[in-house]
Amino acid sequence: MLFGYVVTHRYPSPPTDAPAPQPPPASRSLLAEPHLVGRTGPGPAGLRLLVDGTDPRIIDAHTLAVTPVPGLNLRPGSTAQLLMTGSSVIAALTRLYGPDGGVYLIKPGAKPMLLAAEGLVVPSQDGGIITAVYRSGQTSVTGLTLDRRVRWRWQLPGNGLLLRDTPAGLVVAQYADAVSGDAELLLVDRRTGEVVRRLGHGRQAVAVSDRLLAWEPVRCDGAGCSLVVTELSTGGSRRYDIYRRPALASGAFSPDGGRLALSFAGVPGDDAGPPEAGSVAILDLRTGRKAYVPGLTTPTAEHADVAWSADGHWLVLGVKYPDRERIAVWRPGQDVVILPTVLPGQPTTATLSVLS
Protein backbone atom coordinates (compact mmCIF):
# COMPACT_ATOMS: atom_id res chain seq x y z
CA MET A 1 0.00 0.00 0.00
CA LEU A 2 2.76 2.42 0.94
CA PHE A 3 5.17 1.63 -1.89
CA GLY A 4 6.65 4.07 -4.33
CA TYR A 5 9.61 6.26 -5.15
CA VAL A 6 10.04 9.97 -5.59
CA VAL A 7 13.15 12.17 -5.66
CA THR A 8 11.85 14.90 -3.40
CA HIS A 9 14.78 17.29 -3.67
CA ARG A 10 14.53 17.38 -7.49
CA TYR A 11 10.89 18.42 -7.75
CA PRO A 12 10.24 21.74 -9.47
CA SER A 13 8.95 24.51 -7.23
CA PRO A 14 5.17 24.92 -7.24
CA PRO A 15 3.77 27.84 -9.26
CA THR A 16 3.63 31.02 -7.20
CA ASP A 17 0.54 32.40 -8.94
CA ALA A 18 -1.70 29.44 -8.09
CA PRO A 19 -4.46 30.34 -5.59
CA ALA A 20 -4.06 28.63 -2.23
CA PRO A 21 -6.74 25.94 -1.80
CA GLN A 22 -9.02 26.50 1.16
CA PRO A 23 -10.20 23.90 3.70
CA PRO A 24 -13.91 23.13 4.14
CA PRO A 25 -16.16 25.65 5.90
CA ALA A 26 -15.44 26.12 9.60
CA SER A 27 -19.04 25.48 10.56
CA ARG A 28 -18.61 21.79 9.78
CA SER A 29 -16.24 21.40 12.73
CA LEU A 30 -19.12 22.10 15.10
CA LEU A 31 -21.02 19.00 14.02
CA ALA A 32 -21.34 16.20 16.56
CA GLU A 33 -20.74 13.62 13.81
CA PRO A 34 -18.78 13.51 10.55
CA HIS A 35 -20.30 14.86 7.37
CA LEU A 36 -20.01 12.55 4.34
CA VAL A 37 -21.71 13.25 1.01
CA GLY A 38 -21.53 11.13 -2.13
CA ARG A 39 -23.35 8.50 -4.14
CA THR A 40 -23.91 5.14 -2.48
CA GLY A 41 -22.76 2.06 -4.36
CA PRO A 42 -20.04 -0.57 -4.78
CA GLY A 43 -16.38 0.34 -5.10
CA PRO A 44 -13.89 -0.82 -7.74
CA ALA A 45 -13.41 -4.52 -8.48
CA GLY A 46 -10.49 -6.22 -6.76
CA LEU A 47 -10.27 -3.83 -3.82
CA ARG A 48 -10.26 -5.63 -0.47
CA LEU A 49 -9.95 -3.83 2.84
CA LEU A 50 -9.00 -4.81 6.37
CA VAL A 51 -10.56 -2.91 9.27
CA ASP A 52 -9.28 -3.91 12.71
CA GLY A 53 -10.18 -2.76 16.23
CA THR A 54 -12.90 -4.36 18.36
CA ASP A 55 -14.56 -6.21 15.46
CA PRO A 56 -11.96 -6.91 12.71
CA ARG A 57 -13.44 -7.55 9.28
CA ILE A 58 -12.37 -8.03 5.67
CA ILE A 59 -14.46 -6.05 3.18
CA ASP A 60 -14.70 -6.63 -0.55
CA ALA A 61 -15.38 -3.11 -1.83
CA HIS A 62 -17.00 -4.35 -5.04
CA THR A 63 -19.11 -7.32 -3.94
CA LEU A 64 -19.69 -5.70 -0.50
CA ALA A 65 -19.07 -9.03 1.23
CA VAL A 66 -17.99 -8.60 4.87
CA THR A 67 -16.16 -11.58 6.40
CA PRO A 68 -14.31 -12.23 9.69
CA VAL A 69 -10.52 -12.49 9.72
CA PRO A 70 -9.74 -16.22 9.35
CA GLY A 71 -8.32 -17.72 12.54
CA LEU A 72 -8.97 -14.67 14.73
CA ASN A 73 -11.37 -15.20 17.62
CA LEU A 74 -11.47 -12.23 19.96
CA ARG A 75 -13.11 -12.18 23.34
CA PRO A 76 -15.87 -9.55 23.70
CA GLY A 77 -14.31 -6.17 24.40
CA SER A 78 -10.85 -7.16 23.14
CA THR A 79 -9.02 -5.08 20.55
CA ALA A 80 -6.76 -6.34 17.77
CA GLN A 81 -4.33 -4.45 15.56
CA LEU A 82 -3.75 -6.50 12.40
CA LEU A 83 -0.58 -6.29 10.31
CA MET A 84 0.18 -8.08 7.07
CA THR A 85 3.37 -10.14 7.08
CA GLY A 86 3.40 -10.55 3.30
CA SER A 87 1.04 -10.80 0.36
CA SER A 88 -1.05 -13.47 2.09
CA VAL A 89 -4.41 -12.39 3.47
CA ILE A 90 -4.51 -15.18 6.01
CA ALA A 91 -1.24 -14.56 7.82
CA ALA A 92 -1.68 -11.58 10.12
CA LEU A 93 -0.19 -10.29 13.33
CA THR A 94 -2.43 -9.11 16.11
CA ARG A 95 -1.81 -7.13 19.28
CA LEU A 96 -4.34 -8.23 21.88
CA TYR A 97 -4.88 -5.94 24.86
CA GLY A 98 -5.89 -7.13 28.30
CA PRO A 99 -4.96 -10.25 30.29
CA ASP A 100 -4.29 -12.24 27.09
CA GLY A 101 -2.27 -9.47 25.47
CA GLY A 102 0.56 -10.34 23.14
CA VAL A 103 1.65 -10.62 19.52
CA TYR A 104 0.12 -13.63 17.81
CA LEU A 105 0.46 -15.28 14.42
CA ILE A 106 -3.03 -15.91 13.03
CA LYS A 107 -3.74 -18.66 10.50
CA PRO A 108 -7.10 -20.20 9.53
CA GLY A 109 -7.76 -23.57 11.08
CA ALA A 110 -4.93 -23.22 13.61
CA LYS A 111 -4.72 -21.96 17.16
CA PRO A 112 -3.19 -18.45 17.36
CA MET A 113 0.53 -18.82 18.12
CA LEU A 114 2.13 -16.41 20.59
CA LEU A 115 5.23 -14.79 19.09
CA ALA A 116 5.95 -12.16 21.75
CA ALA A 117 4.35 -11.37 25.09
CA GLU A 118 4.46 -7.60 24.60
CA GLY A 119 5.79 -4.78 22.49
CA LEU A 120 5.07 -2.65 19.45
CA VAL A 121 5.51 -4.56 16.22
CA VAL A 122 6.25 -3.98 12.52
CA PRO A 123 6.68 -6.58 9.76
CA SER A 124 10.31 -6.99 8.69
CA GLN A 125 11.61 -7.05 5.12
CA ASP A 126 12.68 -10.69 5.48
CA GLY A 127 9.18 -11.96 6.31
CA GLY A 128 9.50 -11.93 10.10
CA ILE A 129 8.63 -9.27 12.65
CA ILE A 130 10.49 -6.64 14.66
CA THR A 131 9.33 -5.86 18.20
CA ALA A 132 10.16 -2.91 20.47
CA VAL A 133 9.71 -2.96 24.26
CA TYR A 134 10.38 0.16 26.36
CA ARG A 135 11.62 -0.13 29.95
CA SER A 136 13.67 2.07 32.28
CA GLY A 137 14.72 4.69 29.76
CA GLN A 138 15.63 2.43 26.85
CA THR A 139 13.99 0.35 24.14
CA SER A 140 14.87 -3.26 23.40
CA VAL A 141 14.46 -4.05 19.69
CA THR A 142 14.27 -7.71 18.62
CA GLY A 143 14.06 -9.41 15.24
CA LEU A 144 11.97 -12.60 15.26
CA THR A 145 11.09 -15.24 12.70
CA LEU A 146 7.49 -16.43 12.53
CA ASP A 147 8.52 -19.62 14.37
CA ARG A 148 9.65 -17.48 17.35
CA ARG A 149 13.39 -17.72 16.71
CA VAL A 150 15.36 -14.64 17.85
CA ARG A 151 17.56 -13.40 15.01
CA TRP A 152 19.05 -10.30 16.69
CA ARG A 153 18.51 -7.89 19.56
CA TRP A 154 19.86 -4.42 20.41
CA GLN A 155 19.10 -1.45 22.67
CA LEU A 156 18.09 2.10 21.76
CA PRO A 157 18.26 4.95 24.32
CA GLY A 158 14.87 6.52 25.08
CA ASN A 159 11.49 5.35 23.81
CA GLY A 160 11.77 4.06 20.25
CA LEU A 161 8.61 3.92 18.14
CA LEU A 162 9.07 1.59 15.16
CA LEU A 163 7.58 3.17 12.03
CA ARG A 164 8.49 0.84 9.16
CA ASP A 165 11.15 -1.59 7.99
CA THR A 166 12.26 -0.52 4.51
CA PRO A 167 14.92 -1.59 1.98
CA ALA A 168 16.98 1.40 3.17
CA GLY A 169 16.73 0.40 6.85
CA LEU A 170 14.43 0.54 9.87
CA VAL A 171 12.68 3.91 10.37
CA VAL A 172 12.37 4.82 14.06
CA ALA A 173 11.00 7.81 15.98
CA GLN A 174 13.15 8.20 19.11
CA TYR A 175 11.51 10.02 22.05
CA ALA A 176 13.16 10.99 25.33
CA ASP A 177 10.55 9.17 27.43
CA ALA A 178 6.87 8.80 26.61
CA VAL A 179 5.77 8.78 22.97
CA SER A 180 4.97 12.49 22.98
CA GLY A 181 6.72 15.77 22.36
CA ASP A 182 9.65 16.08 19.96
CA ALA A 183 11.22 13.06 18.29
CA GLU A 184 14.48 12.27 16.50
CA LEU A 185 13.56 10.55 13.24
CA LEU A 186 16.21 7.95 12.47
CA LEU A 187 17.09 5.43 9.79
CA VAL A 188 18.93 2.56 11.50
CA ASP A 189 20.44 -0.78 10.56
CA ARG A 190 17.72 -3.28 11.48
CA ARG A 191 20.21 -5.89 12.73
CA THR A 192 22.60 -3.73 14.76
CA GLY A 193 20.69 -0.55 15.59
CA GLU A 194 23.53 1.57 14.20
CA VAL A 195 22.25 4.93 12.94
CA VAL A 196 22.49 5.06 9.15
CA ARG A 197 21.01 8.54 8.77
CA ARG A 198 19.33 11.19 10.90
CA LEU A 199 16.23 12.13 8.94
CA GLY A 200 14.97 15.07 11.01
CA HIS A 201 13.76 16.41 14.34
CA GLY A 202 10.01 16.79 14.41
CA ARG A 203 6.70 16.70 16.19
CA GLN A 204 5.48 13.51 14.51
CA ALA A 205 5.93 11.20 11.54
CA VAL A 206 2.87 11.52 9.30
CA ALA A 207 3.49 8.78 6.71
CA VAL A 208 6.27 6.43 5.71
CA SER A 209 6.74 4.23 2.65
CA ASP A 210 9.59 2.03 1.45
CA ARG A 211 11.21 5.18 -0.01
CA LEU A 212 9.83 8.25 1.72
CA LEU A 213 9.06 9.76 5.12
CA ALA A 214 6.64 12.65 5.69
CA TRP A 215 7.01 14.46 9.00
CA GLU A 216 6.07 17.66 10.83
CA PRO A 217 8.75 20.06 12.05
CA VAL A 218 8.59 21.00 15.71
CA ARG A 219 7.21 24.52 15.29
CA CYS A 220 4.92 26.43 12.98
CA ASP A 221 5.91 29.89 11.82
CA GLY A 222 3.64 32.93 11.52
CA ALA A 223 2.38 31.94 8.07
CA GLY A 224 1.31 28.44 8.99
CA CYS A 225 2.56 24.89 9.46
CA SER A 226 4.78 22.89 7.15
CA LEU A 227 5.32 19.29 6.17
CA VAL A 228 8.69 17.83 5.17
CA VAL A 229 9.07 14.89 2.80
CA THR A 230 12.45 13.15 3.03
CA GLU A 231 13.95 10.52 0.74
CA LEU A 232 15.22 7.70 2.95
CA SER A 233 18.15 6.61 0.77
CA THR A 234 19.72 10.06 0.36
CA GLY A 235 18.26 12.31 3.07
CA GLY A 236 17.14 14.85 0.44
CA SER A 237 14.08 16.78 1.62
CA ARG A 238 11.44 19.21 0.45
CA ARG A 239 9.23 21.38 2.63
CA TYR A 240 5.55 22.06 1.87
CA ASP A 241 3.50 24.84 3.47
CA ILE A 242 0.24 22.99 3.70
CA TYR A 243 -2.07 24.19 6.47
CA ARG A 244 -2.80 26.95 8.95
CA ARG A 245 -3.42 25.07 12.18
CA PRO A 246 -1.56 22.15 13.83
CA ALA A 247 -4.20 19.46 13.25
CA LEU A 248 -2.52 17.04 10.84
CA ALA A 249 -3.39 13.53 12.07
CA SER A 250 -2.15 10.97 9.54
CA GLY A 251 -1.17 10.40 5.93
CA ALA A 252 -0.44 7.81 3.24
CA PHE A 253 1.83 7.89 0.19
CA SER A 254 0.36 6.75 -3.14
CA PRO A 255 1.95 3.60 -4.59
CA ASP A 256 3.89 5.59 -7.19
CA GLY A 257 5.18 8.03 -4.56
CA GLY A 258 3.89 11.09 -6.42
CA ARG A 259 1.02 11.98 -4.08
CA LEU A 260 0.43 12.10 -0.35
CA ALA A 261 -3.02 11.74 1.20
CA LEU A 262 -3.35 13.90 4.32
CA SER A 263 -6.01 13.59 7.02
CA PHE A 264 -6.66 16.65 9.20
CA ALA A 265 -8.56 16.55 12.49
CA GLY A 266 -11.11 19.20 13.38
CA VAL A 267 -9.87 21.88 15.77
CA PRO A 268 -11.84 24.16 18.14
CA GLY A 269 -11.66 27.90 17.98
CA ASP A 270 -8.88 29.50 20.04
CA ASP A 271 -6.39 32.36 20.00
CA ALA A 272 -4.80 30.90 16.87
CA GLY A 273 -7.99 31.16 14.83
CA PRO A 274 -11.63 30.16 14.37
CA PRO A 275 -12.85 26.55 14.56
CA GLU A 276 -12.01 24.40 11.56
CA ALA A 277 -13.51 21.16 10.35
CA GLY A 278 -11.42 18.08 9.83
CA SER A 279 -10.79 17.24 6.19
CA VAL A 280 -8.86 15.00 3.80
CA ALA A 281 -6.68 16.27 0.97
CA ILE A 282 -4.32 14.85 -1.65
CA LEU A 283 -1.02 16.73 -1.93
CA ASP A 284 0.71 16.55 -5.33
CA LEU A 285 4.38 16.26 -4.37
CA ARG A 286 5.55 17.68 -7.72
CA THR A 287 3.46 20.86 -7.78
CA GLY A 288 2.61 21.34 -4.10
CA ARG A 289 -1.10 21.72 -4.91
CA LYS A 290 -3.82 20.12 -2.77
CA ALA A 291 -7.19 18.68 -3.76
CA TYR A 292 -9.73 18.26 -0.96
CA VAL A 293 -12.13 15.33 -0.83
CA PRO A 294 -15.54 16.95 -1.43
CA GLY A 295 -18.36 16.50 1.05
CA LEU A 296 -16.20 15.10 3.86
CA THR A 297 -15.65 16.82 7.22
CA THR A 298 -14.98 15.57 10.74
CA PRO A 299 -15.67 17.20 14.13
CA THR A 300 -13.19 18.42 16.73
CA ALA A 301 -10.35 15.97 17.51
CA GLU A 302 -11.63 13.44 14.95
CA HIS A 303 -10.13 12.50 11.57
CA ALA A 304 -10.72 10.03 8.75
CA ASP A 305 -8.43 7.07 8.02
CA VAL A 306 -6.74 7.16 4.60
CA ALA A 307 -5.21 4.44 2.43
CA TRP A 308 -4.63 3.86 -1.29
CA SER A 309 -5.80 1.09 -3.58
CA ALA A 310 -2.92 -1.06 -4.86
CA ASP A 311 -3.10 0.55 -8.32
CA GLY A 312 -3.11 4.06 -6.85
CA HIS A 313 -6.31 5.05 -8.65
CA TRP A 314 -8.53 5.27 -5.57
CA LEU A 315 -8.17 6.90 -2.19
CA VAL A 316 -9.88 4.82 0.49
CA LEU A 317 -11.53 6.64 3.41
CA GLY A 318 -12.58 5.26 6.78
CA VAL A 319 -14.98 7.68 8.46
CA LYS A 320 -15.69 7.03 12.15
CA TYR A 321 -19.01 7.84 13.81
CA PRO A 322 -19.67 7.41 17.56
CA ASP A 323 -21.14 3.93 17.08
CA ARG A 324 -20.22 2.85 13.54
CA GLU A 325 -17.83 3.35 10.64
CA ARG A 326 -18.44 4.09 6.97
CA ILE A 327 -16.07 3.31 4.11
CA ALA A 328 -15.82 5.46 0.98
CA VAL A 329 -13.54 5.69 -2.07
CA TRP A 330 -12.64 8.71 -4.17
CA ARG A 331 -10.81 9.65 -7.36
CA PRO A 332 -10.01 13.35 -7.92
CA GLY A 333 -12.50 14.91 -10.28
CA GLN A 334 -15.20 12.36 -9.46
CA ASP A 335 -17.90 11.95 -6.84
CA VAL A 336 -17.18 10.23 -3.56
CA VAL A 337 -18.53 6.66 -3.62
CA ILE A 338 -19.86 5.54 -0.22
CA LEU A 339 -20.07 1.79 0.32
CA PRO A 340 -23.51 0.75 1.64
CA THR A 341 -21.67 -1.42 4.18
CA VAL A 342 -21.89 -0.04 7.73
CA LEU A 343 -19.50 -1.49 10.29
CA PRO A 344 -21.05 -1.74 13.77
CA GLY A 345 -19.41 -1.28 17.14
CA GLN A 346 -17.07 1.37 18.50
CA PRO A 347 -14.46 1.98 15.79
CA THR A 348 -12.43 4.62 17.65
CA THR A 349 -9.47 2.24 17.90
CA ALA A 350 -9.83 0.79 14.41
CA THR A 351 -7.41 1.29 11.55
CA LEU A 352 -7.95 0.78 7.84
CA SER A 353 -5.55 -0.95 5.44
CA VAL A 354 -5.68 -2.35 1.92
CA LEU A 355 -5.21 -6.07 1.29
CA SER A 356 -5.44 -5.99 -2.51
pLDDT at 140: 96
Please report, for residues 67, 94, 208, 283, 303, the alpha-carbon distance to residue 261 in angstroms, rounded to integers and kept in the order given: 27, 26, 12, 6, 13
pLDDT tens for each residue of the chain, 356 residues long: 222 222 223 333 333 333 334 555 555 445 678 999 999 999 999 999 999 888 888 999 999 999 988 888 777 777 788 887 764 434 566 666 666 678 888 877 778 888 888 888 899 998 889 999 999 899 999 999 988 899 999 999 999 999 999 999 999 999 998 767 799 999 999 999 999 999 999 988 999 999 999 999 988 765 678 999 999 999 999 999 877 666 889 999 999 999 999 999 988 877 767 788 899 999 999 999 999 999 999 998 889 999 999 999 999 999 988 888 899 999 998 999 999 998 876 666 678 888 88
The confidence score (pLDDT) of residue 196 equals 97
Question: pTM for this structure?
Answer: 0.87
| 348 φ, ψ (degrees, to nearest 5) | -65, -25
Q: For residues 52-73, b (16+ Cβ closer than 10 Å) or e, as one string?
A: bbbbbbbbbbeeeeeeebebbe
Give the pLDDT of residue 244: 67
pLDDT for the residue numbered 231: 98
For 349, the 3-state DSSP assignment is helix
- In the sheet where 57-60 sits, what is the strand order? 66-68, 57-60, 48-51, 352-354
User: Which pLDDT score is estimated for 9?
Assistant: 30
C-alpha–C-alpha distance, residues 25 and 35, integer Å: 12
Helix (H, G, I), strand (E, B) or coil at 176: coil
Query: Domain coordinates of the chain in residue numbers?
Result: 8-12+23-354
Sorted by sequence, the CB contacts under 8 Å of residue 150 that are 6+ apart come out as: 142, 143, 144
Region of residue 117 (left: phi > 0; alpha: psi -120 to 50; beta: else)? alpha
Superfamily in which the 8-12+23-354 domain is placed by CATH: YVTN repeat-like/Quinoprotein amine dehydrogenase (2.130.10.10)
pLDDT of residue 356: 82
Q: Say how far apart CA 57 and CA 70 lie, in whole Å.
A: 9
